[in-house]
């Protein structure tokens, strides 16, 4: 295996992409999947991820075949990879030890690699290329304010663009593209997402209550999106906030009642979305529905999708999400409606 530095790929090219199965991670990978199709026209583009986003990647038209490697048996995943054979190009978007090891399993001595990968000796990581893109790949400060100054080939610090540049893909970055289906339920005009992967992403329940109570008095019905509570508690933070809002009658409980493509359809049907920095926010950005996203300061530079329909709210520099005021949110929600 060797580092990819934009070498010419010819013939019946087979490409594999590895991505975390958190919802936002799948969505931010979709610009890269489209860009790979356009630039390399691969014979096969296979996607290795996990069950949490399978409802989306299994029907993604840019993916020829998808496989679970997160949330399942490493032994079975390894056997599946060996059956598929080595790829010409392996693009790993996930930094975990298992993803790094699995990237190496997908390679032989002729394979090119993008992203973290165990070296051929099985002892150390494969070194990154000694070029500007290689330096970006190993730079731990992707959220820094001067990222585009230090790497002038970047037009933005958005992670979707970074993924494309690490694969040596130039030019405009495609927009999000996610599968959608008509929801089987009536959808309230306002949809919210109150859970996230980390506790520091959460907004206080009292703030949610104040905002939703105010909007309710103005005649706006709201619904809360998310996984069913048992699943929510397993993977995400904030299920107790959801439950309080449901019990107070401030939101309709849509948790676990829609498939992920139906969630996309629901977001398309809504008039506005109010959400934390989570997968719901990224899906909303894909639909073009006006959305308000609450971000940690600095993280927004990397993770906020650069689309006009998403209003990004952040606390003062160094502050937490809890410092975003209800007045800020209500003003932004008013603009969204």
pLDDT digits (tens, 9 = 90+) for 144-193: 999 999 999 999 999 999 999 999 999 999 999 999 999 989 999 999 99
pLDDT recorded at residue 230: 75
Q: Work out the average pLDDT over 210-222.
A: 93
What fold is seen in the domain 190-336? Rossmann fold (3.40.50)
Domains 2-166 and 190-336 equal at CATH topology level: yes
pLDDT computed for residue 109 by the predictor: 93
Q: Provide, rounded to the nearest whole percent, the portion of the chain with pLDDT above 90.
A: 87
Lowest mean pLDDT among 73-82, 234-243, 261-270: 234-243
- The phi and psi torsions of 90 (rounded to 5 degrees) equal -115, 125
Q: Please give the pLDDT value at position 231.
A: 76
Closest CA to 276 of 261, 286, 291: 291
Cα dist from 64 to 10, 37, 133, 281, 329, whole Å: 19, 11, 28, 26, 41
Domain 2-166 architecture: 3-Layer(aba) Sandwich (3.40)
Per-residue pLDDT, averaged over 23-34, amounts to: 97
What integer pLDDT is reported at residue 23 of this predicted model? 95
- Burial environment of residue 306 by CB neighbours within 10 A (0 to 12, 13 to 18, 19 or more): middle
| Alpha-carbon torsion, ordered 35, 36, 42, 46, to 10 deg | -120
* Residue, of 227 and 49, whose pLDDT is higher: 49
- Contact between 113 and 126 under an 8 Å Cβ cutoff? The reply is yes
Domain ranges for the chain, please list them: 2-166, 190-336
Collapsing DSSP to helix, strand or coil, 165 comes out as: helix
Residue 236: pLDDT over 80:
no
Split at pLDDT 50, 70, 90, the class of 198 is confident
């Amino acid at each position: 295996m060797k580092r990819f530095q934009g070498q010419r790929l010819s013939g019946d090219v087979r490409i594999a992409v590895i991505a975390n199965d958190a919802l936002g991670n799948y969505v931010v990978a979709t610009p890269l999947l489209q860009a790979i199709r356009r630039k390399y026209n691969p014979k096969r583009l296979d996607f290795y991820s996990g069950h949490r986003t399978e409802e989306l990647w299994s029907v993604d038209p840019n993916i020829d075949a998808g496989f679970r490697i997160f949330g399942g048996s490493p032994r079975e995943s390894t056997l599946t990879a060996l059956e598929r054979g080595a790829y010409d190009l392996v693009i790993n978007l996930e930094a975990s030890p298992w993803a790094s090891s699995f990237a190496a399993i997908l390679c032989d001595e002729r394979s090119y690699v993008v992203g973290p990968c165990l070296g051929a000796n099985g002892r150390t990581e494969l070194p990154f290329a000694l070029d500007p893109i290689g330096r970006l790949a190993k730079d731990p400060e992707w959220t820094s304010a001067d990222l585009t100054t230090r790497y002038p080939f970047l037009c933005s610090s958005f992670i979707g663009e970074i993924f494309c540049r690490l694969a040596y893909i130039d030019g405009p970055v495609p927009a999000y593209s996610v599968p959608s289906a008509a929801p089987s339920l009536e959808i309230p005009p306002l949809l919210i997402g109150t859970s996230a992967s980390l506790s520091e992403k959460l907004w206080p329940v009292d703030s949610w209550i104040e905002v939703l109570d105010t909007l309710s008095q103005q005649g706006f019905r709201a619904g809360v999106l998310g996984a069913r509570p048992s699943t929510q508690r397993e993977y995400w933070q904030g299920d107790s906030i959801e439950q309080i809002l449901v019990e107070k009658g401030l939101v309709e409980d849509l948790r676990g009642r829609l498939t992920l493509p139906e969630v996309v359809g629901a977001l398309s049907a809504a008039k506005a979305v109010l959400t934390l920095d989570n997968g719901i926010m990224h899906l909303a950005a894909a639909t073009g529905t006006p959305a308000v996203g609450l971000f940690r300061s600095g993280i927004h530079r990397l993770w906020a999708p650069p689309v006009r329909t998403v209003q990004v709210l952040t606390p003062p520099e160094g502050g937490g999400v809890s410092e975003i005021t209800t007045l800020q949110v209500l003003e932004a929600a008013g603009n969204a409606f």
